[in-house]
Structure 1
Amino acid sequence: MNNTANTARDEILSRLSTSISKNTHIPNHAPHFEGAIKIEGELLETFKTNHSNNKGIIVESSKENLPATIAEILRENEAKEVLYNVDIDVDSSALSASVGASANLVPYTKSVDEIRSQLFSIDTSIVQARCGVADLGILCLSANKDAPRLSSLITNTCIYLLPKENIVQHIFAGIEFAKGYERKRSGDSNYLPTNIIFVAGPSRTADIELITVFGVHGPRKTYVVLY
């Protein structure tokens, strides 16, 4: 940007600042995010209902039983190659013991260029969700070095792990939750995640004949394990 552009920008911003300070009658309404969709009942039950309506599969578990629950889902789907983000709320040794020899667990610790040939042949992934949004029944994910965004996009089946206490009312609260998580993780109060992803359920695409096709741009089948 040249000096002329800088000067013009500064002049515009200065005039705006002066105008606001002199025109105190200008209304400054706080934004309202509550109540876009009326929620009746508890957030958890609302989330479960709405996410099920989005064709996602809800499985209830507990922190202690997560390895066994995940292993059961993998067996049901005959998973062979399982990619997992290293930030999932499960001990990798306990998960490996529960899964046994039925599937190969692959931690997502390398770049896509290093494991490209392997990455796109993996059938299942395990991803930690940051929160659930009750009024829409969707999941909020945030990407970082321990949770690459491709992990939720490239497999036929994706298993999302979600603590029951991390259910918020609306999408704005979901964004704030993800931002807060990444700021705490990074230790930077001004940090913003590179990607915030919202997942409604299995991917679906309607072609020109208005036929809904599942799994065209994402997993064909999705599980949410609540614990």
Structure 2
Amino acid sequence: MSARDSILQRLRNRSGGELSVPECDFSVLQRPVSSVAERIEQFQKTIESVHGEVHSCTRDSWVAQLADILSARDARCLLVPGAHEIGRRLRESEQDDLPELLIYDEPIESWQPHLFNNVDASITSTRGGIAETGSLILWPTPDEPRLMSLVPPIHIAVLEASELYATFHEAMQAQIWASGMPTNALLVSGPSKTADIEQTLAYGVHGPKELIVLVIE
């Protein structure tokens, strides 16, 4: 008998039989049915309470709104996905007031100094959002590495209103997370913040100073 089997056998003997897993009751996590408009309102209220910024857009207007947002901040460049529809739309756009568009298409060893010192803003897609906590769900990919959302001073996230869920549990169920997840998943709730120094909350210390969400309705 292996050490593992021996330990399990002792546990069975102590409990008087086979170990059983209790049934899970997730009813406490259920929320009343809400409309998309109600979820957007709750999401915006929650994320803005921690210094996030939300802009409602349409599929035709978001590029122009993005250009205005970046122009107001004097952003010189924007890091975009290489293959994702967001990156393609920006590169093919005739919007002439967009900043220089960059693509994260080389190893981090050669790209790191430029990423940390010269990139003003980045834009990423999202896998959805959570209205209750004002959180964005990001699943990094080779096309959108996690450093795109963690390093530049301004992180802009594009969120489809139809993918805004009431709770984290609802998001996991609707997207069938149990069938497979990436090696790294991110929940982003506002710009970076810390209370390490004298327990005083400070924003933008270890990552983006601004989080701007474009909600596509």
SS of equivalent residue, structure 1 residue 117:
helix
Which residue is 2:184 aligned to? 195
* Deviation (angstroms), 1:127: 1.0
- For the Cα contact (< 8 Å) 1:132–1:138, is it kept in 2? yes
* Deviation (angstroms), 1:100: 3.0
Task: Give the percent of matched residue pairs that are identical in Structure 1 and Structure 2.
Answer: 27
Distance change in 2, residues 1:152/1:91 (3 Å): closer
- For the Cα contact (< 8 Å) 2:159–2:215, is it kept in 1? yes
Which residue is 2:4 aligned to? 9
1:218 is matched with which residue: 197, 207, 210?
207
* Deviation (angstroms), 1:198: 0.9
SS of equivalent residue, structure 2 residue 43:
helix
Distance change in 2, residues 1:176/1:195 (3 Å): farther
Distance change in 2, residues 1:102/1:134 (3 Å): closer
* Deviation (angstroms), 1:109: 2.1
Q: Which string of whole-angstrom CA distances, capped at 9 and with x for unpartnered residues, describes residues 5-28 of structure 1? A: xx33356568889999x769x673
1:105 aligns with 2:94: no
Q: Which string of whole-angstrom CA distances, capped at 9 and with x for unpartnered residues, describes residues 144-188 of structure 1? A: 2111000011111110000000011222334556775xx9xxxxx
Which residue is 1:186 aligned to? none
1:135 aligns with 2:129: no
Which residue is 2:40 aligned to? 44
SS of equivalent residue, structure 2 residue 65:
helix
Distance change in 2, residues 1:19/1:220 (3 Å): same
SS of equivalent residue, structure 1 residue 100:
coil
Question: For this pair of structures, how many residues does the alignment match?
Answer: 212
TM-score by length of 2: 0.80
SS of equivalent residue, structure 2 residue 161:
coil
SS of equivalent residue, structure 1 residue 146:
coil
Deviates more, 1:124-133 or 1:77-86: 77-86
Which residue is 1:149 aligned to? 146
Distance change in 2, residues 1:88/1:117 (3 Å): same
Equivalent position amino acid for 1:113 in 2: E
* Deviation (angstroms), 1:76: 1.4
Moved over 4 A (4+): 10-20, 36-41, 93-96, 175-180
Distance change in 2, residues 1:145/1:175 (3 Å): farther
* Deviation (angstroms), 1:206: 2.5
Unaligned runs of 5+ in 1: 184-188
Distance change in 2, residues 1:224/1:27 (3 Å): same
**How many Å separate the matches in 2 of 1:35 and 1:160?**
26
**How many Å separate the matches in 2 of 1:152 and 1:178?**
22
**How many Å separate the matches in 1 of 2:32 and 2:155?**
30
Which residue is 1:78 aligned to? 74
1:167 aligns with 2:164: yes
TM-score by length of 1: 0.77
